[in-house]
Amino acid sequence: MSQVITDKNGVKRYLITINVNGDSHSLLVKGNAILTNVLRDDLNLTGTKKGCELGDCGSCTVLLDGKPVDSCMVLAVEADGREITTIEGVAANGQLDDIQQSMLNHAAVQCGYCTPGMVLSAKALLTRNPHPSEREVREAIAGNLCRCTGYVHIVEAVLAASRGEITPVDLKEGDSR
Amino acid sequence: MNMPDFEYHAPETLQEACALLAELGRNATVLAGGTDVLHKMKTGKLASGHLVSLKRLGELRNIRSKSGHGIVIGALTRHNEIYNSPLLQELFLSLPMAAHTMASNQICNLGTLGGNIVNGVPSADLPPILIALKACIRLVSAQGERSMALEDFFCGAAQTRIVPGEILADTTIPEQSTTGSTYIKFGLRRSGALAVAGVAVSVTVDKNILREARIVLASSAPTVMRARNAEGFLRGKKISGKLLAEAGAMAAAESRPRDSIRGSAEYRRNLVEVLTKRALRKAIDKGHI
């Protein structure tokens, strides 16, 4: 059990330690704190989006010990001691991940709300299975709903990333793309 | 979305969890994967003063072969762990495949076998195939433990025979002589949708004679149910397309579906007829898939 701290009003808080994108964070959370909110509000990692908040839409997808989960369905206290990757942890050293780059190349982004979860689901798939079939890509992102444009460009982008067909795009400051 | 307050507990052992549940009584809810409990709490369908999390009970999170007894699956085993289990894929592929079709990848990484059983919803995907494979469950409490056939566990929509203070510990698929099994469901989408209707079967075939068939229907009655008339009709008969079609019609006749937003009772009955015929054919021809 995590260390429990009870305040003068009798409210209990739990000391949890989570590793987020390689950084260790110790936080005090209430028992009913949801992981999505802790990531967004306490750690200011707002790339994780809040959508349905009921495990249907996948906007809040993060990797928990490398596996995609809906963070709206996880109590923060239950994530104690676990490793979490959010969208902020995907690009390394200022370089976009291949999946992110490929999604730009294929115009697989519209409003962008589903994109963080979509990238993380795709990332977990390519880590586990570097050369997926189209069906496997579709299965992997089936829990990420897109309301804008559909899935064709997204699936093409993930497949292209799996084949290493990445075209670097030089994004200039102020580029509205 | 508001998450009501509660007190959180994470006992270290099954014994400790049972003692805690006995002490807290009806004011406590067991938390496993969380995909149902947190959903119900957020939508105001469940208020609970205490959540007793089973997350530290690693003893309930495994799949193992127990010689002379069959395969034991801990209640905390997640859907994706069932899907990825080499042991289950080798012996009863029908169960991993059922686990794979039931929800999105994200939910399959959180949801547990135990949760899928104790919620008692008629559209749950794992109970039908487990009942077809004659699974038993073990319930543990501060008073001791008891086992029962999974098919005797359900007694109404979202109602089961578990009593306050009890924890579902594991499910055992016994060693058996069945030659094939499968679960086919029809959902409104290919992925992650609840079953409008589902049919699980297991068959024992010997020289083109159906020695035994178990037919279990999902989303076709207030509880998951066996189509016993159809099973009795098939016993000892020579396999033919006509025979399987007749069994499908019998299963449909004894189903008790209701109208819902996902499909009318009549539509569900038609699905049961078609899916039963298909599932029997698949299990007979292709084994455990």
Within 10 A of A138 (CB to CB), how many other CB atoms are there? 16
How far is Cα B269 from Cα B280, in angstroms, rounded to an integer? 17
Residue of B nearest to A143 (CA): B104
Residue B201: Cβ within 10 Å count? 34
Chain A residues lying within 8 Å of B13, measured CB to CB:
none
**Is A58 an 8 Å CB contact of chain B?**
yes
Question: What would the two tokens of residue A102 be?
Answer: 């490929």
Inter-chain contact A1–B43, Cβ cutoff 8 Å? no
CB atoms A32 and B107 under 8 Å:
no
Whole-prediction pTM: 0.94
Which residues of A are less than 8 Å from B10 in CB distance? 1-2, 77
Q: B-chain residues within 8 Å CB-CB of A2?
A: 10
Name the residue among B5, B38, B104 with its Cβ closest to that of A143. B104
What chain B residue is nearest to A53 in terms of C-alpha separation? B1
pLDDT in tens, chain B (289 residues): 899 999 999 999 999 999 999 999 999 999 999 999 999 999 999 999 999 999 999 999 999 998 888 999 999 999 999 999 999 999 999 999 999 999 999 999 999 999 999 999 999 999 999 999 999 999 999 999 999 999 999 999 999 999 999 999 999 999 999 999 999 999 998 888 899 999 999 999 999 999 999 999 999 999 999 999 999 999 999 999 999 999 999 999 999 999 999 999 999 999 999 999 999 999 999 999 9
Q: What share of chain A is helix, strand, coil (3-state, %, to 5)?
A: 35, 20, 45
Alpha-carbon distance B219 to nearest alpha carbon in chain A (angstroms): 20
* Contact state of B8 with A31 under an 8 Å Cβ cutoff: yes
Would you state the torsion angle of the CA atoms of residues B14, A79, B74, B45, taken in this order, to the nearest 10 degrees? Answer: 90
The interface predicted TM-score (ipTM) is 0.93
Integer CA distances (angstroms), A27 to A14, A24, A81, A85, B41, in order: 8, 10, 11, 17, 24
